[in-house]
Amino acid sequence: MTLLAGFFIHHFDHPRMMLVSKPLTGDKYGTWCRSMTIALGAKNKLGFVDGTVTKPSARKATELAIWQRCNDMILLWIVNVVPSDIQSSVVYLRTTKEVWDDLKEHFSQQNISRLFEIQRDSARITQNQ
């Protein structure tokens, strides 16, 4: 693997940077996910969360170090906008791909529960209501 443009971190990028204006909440996961996808795409870092930029082998020490630096920066960007109870679990995952997938699984389950509640409530509505 050659060094990709996605491995570059601009000097304006820093760990406390907020890529999106609103933090992640369970009922707004879809909007948050889309906003983060756009922001990460604009920074040429989307490949880290979608898995297309993979971790180099240990034999390529320089590439591995640069990849790790980018991965850690993106991990902090994500951790900074998730609720504190979620932060404590995702911060121990090693790659941004693992964090991204974990958040998707966690919040998709909440959305399925909420969808069921909405469907159940709408089924109970009668014409007089």
What mean pLDDT comes out for the span 10-31?
A: 82
pLDDT in tens, 7-19: 778 878 877 788 8
User: Is the confidence at residue 2, as pLDDT, over 50?
Assistant: no
Confidence band for 103, pLDDT divided at 50, 70 and 90: very high
Task: Examine the pLDDT at 114 and tell me if it is beyond 70.
Answer: no
Distance CA 27, CA 108 (A): 10
How far is Cα 45 from Cα 5, in angstroms, rounded to an integer?
A: 9
- Give the Cα separation of 82 and 25 in Å (integer): 7
Nearest to 48 by CA among 24, 66, 32: 66
The answer to whether 63 and 51 have CB atoms below 8 angstroms apart is no
Task: Please state, in angstroms and as integers, the Cα–Cα distance from residue 17 to each residue in 21, 68, 81, 111, following that order.
Answer: 10, 18, 10, 28
Where in the chain are the domains?
26-122
- What would the pLDDT profile of 34-69 be if each residue is shown by its tens digit? 999 999 999 999 999 999 999 999 999 999 999 999
Q: pTM of the predicted model, to two decimals?
A: 0.75
